[in-house]
Structure 1
Amino acid sequence: MATFVLIHGGGDVGWYWHLLEAELRLRGHDVVAPDLPCDDDSAGLAEYADAVVEAVGGRRDLVVVGQSYGGFTAPLVADRLPTDLLVLLAAMIPSPGETPEDWWINTGYSQAAREQAARDGGKTGSEDPLVGYYNGVPRALAEEAMRRERDESTTAWRTPWPLEAWPDVPTKFVLCRDDHLFPPDFLRRLATERLGITPDEIPGCHCVALSHPKELADLLVGYIAG
């Protein structure tokens, strides 16, 4: 049995993972999915990691999964706790000393999003969250997710990522082929440049734990089974 430590994205809550959590528990695994203190404007990345470490407690056999903005927190947790596998899911990949605020310019995100939007008719980068984030999520479920959204700490947004190097932990990257926030080509390039790995790919939108929880659970469990 593994313990999957699920770290949500920006302005979100641990509830985001509830469908995936059910799938993982059906397969006999434990799950920890805490709320990060993102609505506390004094909280930085260290406090985000503290919240996860506290929620994990004494659990072992950890698989740490960071979604989207959670990519800044997940490696901090993997650096502090004995972690068997680190998984970045449609995630931001930080470099040492880089702030989340600067990540967008440093990675060339805007140009990549414009190029993809030109190909998909403006779906990428859409201001409509049902298009830009929740495409493929049932409407009622997407509306519930939006109802639970929170503010995001400006302190964390401007905190330099504190590690001097990527943690010495086996790492996987998963991209979502229907992601309208982070274009797949953009993430393929970023994962290669910053981690030296080729991403695994699954169907689904940026919020894949809501749109394709079974497929995501199959992939995650497959990592540890292999």
Structure 2
Amino acid sequence: MTTFVVVHGAGGSGWEWHRVARELHGRGHDVVAPDLPCEDETAGLAEYADAVVAAARAATAAATAPARPSPGEGPALLVVVAHSLGGFTAPQVAERLGADRLVLVAGMVPLPGETGGQWWETSGYQRAARERADREGVVARMDTDEEVVATFMHDLDPALAEEALRRGRDQAGRPMSDPWPLTAWPDVPTSYLIFGDDRFFPPEFLRRMVRERLGIDADEMPGSHAAYLSRPADLAERLVAYAGPTT
């Protein structure tokens, strides 16, 4: 059995992962997907990490690890999963909880001392986005609901996309100005999954960033930036596979 602790992206909520959670529950695993205090202008990266760690510990009733399995079930595992801006929070959570694995899905990968605001340029994202716009005419826009859907969730059923828009939350700015507090990437086995149809984070940019910043090769599956809603079964299968051997 694995407990998956999910850190959602900017302006999101744990609800976004309810379809993946259902798939994981059906496979015998637990999911903790708390809402971050993203509407709180006083909450920064430390408070985000505190919120996730508190939710994980409350759900598992243990200080630094998931609840122990029943006899014969084998050892329980703890996997921290991060989406998008959640990449700035999840490494802190994984280190504090002693996670068995850290999985980033279309996640931002920070460097020590880097802020979220700086990341757009220092990671190479802005250059990659310009190159993609010149080459394919694909531009990430979010001024209207229609543009948000086209950029982030173009492969969702319209009714589900409408619900996702309705459940969207404001994103305070402080997490984008807080320097990433860790001095190095945590000593936790890390995997990275790209969504191949992502119009927000170009896959070719993510592949390069992951190699440069994590020293690993990213995996890829179909789906938009919101593939947790459009392809929950496929994503759940990937997560279960990542929860396998950690060495």
TM band (smaller chain): over 0.9
2:121, 2:127 within 8 Å by CA — same for their partners in 1?
no
Secondary structure at 1:65's aligned position in 2?
A: strand
Q: Where do residues 133-148 of structure 1 align in structure 2 (5 Å cutoff)?
A: 133-148=152-167
Secondary structure at 2:111's aligned position in 1?
A: coil
Secondary structure at 2:6's aligned position in 1?
A: strand
Show structure 1 runs of 4+ deviating over 4 A.
none
The aligned counterpart of 1:83 is 99
The aligned counterpart of 2:12 is 12
Query: Which of 192, 199, 209 is equivalent to 1:190?
Result: 209
The residue type paired with residue 86 of structure 1 is L
The aligned counterpart of 2:223 is 204
Q: Where do residues 211-226 of structure 1 align in structure 2 (5 Å cutoff)?
A: 211-226=230-245
Determine the C-alpha separation between the residues in 2 that align with 1:134 and 1:190.
23
The residue type paired with residue 39 of structure 1 is E
The aligned counterpart of 1:47 is 47
The aligned counterpart of 1:94 is 110
The residue type paired with residue 43 of structure 1 is A
Determine the C-alpha separation between the residues in 2 that align with 1:155 and 1:114.
26
User: How many pairs are equivalent?
Assistant: 225
CA displacement 1:51-104 (0-9 Å, x = unmatched)? 000101125221000000000000010110120100011010000000101100
2:25, 2:31 within 8 Å by CA — same for their partners in 1?
yes
The aligned counterpart of 2:141 is 126
Determine the C-alpha separation between the residues in 2 that align with 1:9 and 1:91.
8
Highest Rg: 1 or 2?
Answer: 2
Query: Which of 93, 99, 122 is equivalent to 1:106?
Result: 122
Show structure 1 runs of 5+ residues with no match: none
Secondary structure at 1:166's aligned position in 2?
A: coil
2:194, 2:219 within 8 Å by CA — same for their partners in 1?
yes
Tell me the TM-score normalised to structure 1 length.
Answer: 0.97
The residue type paired with residue 103 of structure 1 is W
Query: For the aligned residues, what is the CA RMSD?
Result: 1.1
Secondary structure at 1:149's aligned position in 2?
A: coil
In the TM superposition, residue 49 of structure 1 has moved relative to its aligned partner by 0.4
Determine the C-alpha separation between the residues in 2 that align with 1:43 and 1:224.
31
Structure 2 residue 80 is the aligned partner of structure 1 residue 64: yes
Determine the C-alpha separation between the residues in 1 that align with 2:116 and 2:224.
22
Tell me the TM-score normalised to structure 2 length.
Answer: 0.89
Determine the C-alpha separation between the residues in 2 that align with 1:108 and 1:173.
17
